[in-house]
């Protein structure tokens, strides 16, 4: 397994674990991540057409994925949106480990930060008792992914 795949899997597992471990008292007002962004919003945000969002499993609608309609080597492969609790947000923000880079983001929700691991990055945002992580998976510079994630996050925050 390539190191890129290992890093991506570790990154995904980290946030799935933190979401599952958090108490449900701070649950998001919507239980359907796919309802927070339209296909058109995601396509416009990443600059390539994407397929309709779909939950990873039919019974867990806290995680939604939009796959690129026609993936190319240097473009967006997919976008994920993971609903979390405010407690999960705080746990992620205080994480410290080799290779993790936490960068604060201002002007988005109540609090926000980018969490980079290798060549992957996710934007984690908290507004009230709701938190979410949006991530763009593509073979492009981190700064470009961050800009796309921020565009999508602004649209999500406006619905919370």
pLDDT at 160: 85
Q: What does R_g of the chain's alpha carbons equal in angstroms? A: 14
The region, left, alpha or beta by phi > 0 then psi within -120 to 50, assigned to residue 86 is: alpha
Number of domains in the chain: 1
Q: Is the pLDDT of residue 83 over 90?
A: yes
Q: Is the pLDDT of residue 28 over 60?
A: no
Confidence of residue 30 (pLDDT cuts 50, 70, 90): low
**HSE (CB half, 13 Å, CA atoms) of 95?**
23
Task: Report which of 119, 123, 139 is spatially closest to residue 131, judged by C-alpha positions.
Answer: 123
* CATH number, domain with residue 94: 3.40.1000
Buried b (16+ CB within 10 A) or exposed e, 22-61: beeebbbeeeebbebbeeebbbebbebebeebeebeeeeb
In whole angstroms, give the CA distance from residue 134 to residue 150: 8
Domain of residue 121 covers 3-157
Q: How far is CA 105 from CA 31, 34, 68, 93, in A?
A: 25, 24, 27, 11
Kindly state the DSSP code that residue 78 receives in the 8-state scheme. E
Q: Is the pLDDT of residue 21 over 80?
A: no
Q: Please, what sign has the CA dihedral across residues 97, 99, 103, 109?
A: negative
In tens, the pLDDT along 37-75 reads 999 999 999 999 999 999 988 888 999 999 999 877 677
Judge if pTM exceeds 0.85: no
In tens, the pLDDT along 115-153 reads 998 889 999 999 988 899 999 999 999 999 999 999 999
């Amino acid at each position: 397994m390539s190191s890129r795949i290992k890093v991506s899997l570790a990154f995904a597992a980290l946030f799935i674990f933190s979401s599952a471990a958090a108490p449900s008292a701070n649950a998001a007002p919507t239980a359907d991540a796919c309802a927070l962004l339209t296909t058109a919003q995601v396509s416009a945000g990443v600059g390539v057409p994407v397929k309709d969002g779909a939950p990873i499993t039919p019974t867990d609608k806290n995680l939604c994925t939009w796959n690129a309609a026609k993936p190319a080597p240097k473009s967006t492969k997919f976008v994920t949106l993971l609903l979390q609790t405010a407690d999960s947000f705080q746990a992620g923000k205080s994480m410290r480990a080799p290779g993790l880079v936490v960068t604060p983001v201002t002007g988005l929700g109540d609090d926000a930060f980018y969490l980079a691991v290798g060549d992957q990055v996710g934007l984690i945002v908290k507004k009230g008792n709701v938190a979410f992580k949006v991530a763009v998976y593509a073979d492009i510079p981190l700064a470009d992914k961050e800009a796309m994630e921020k565009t999508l996050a602004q649209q999500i925050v406006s619905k919370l």
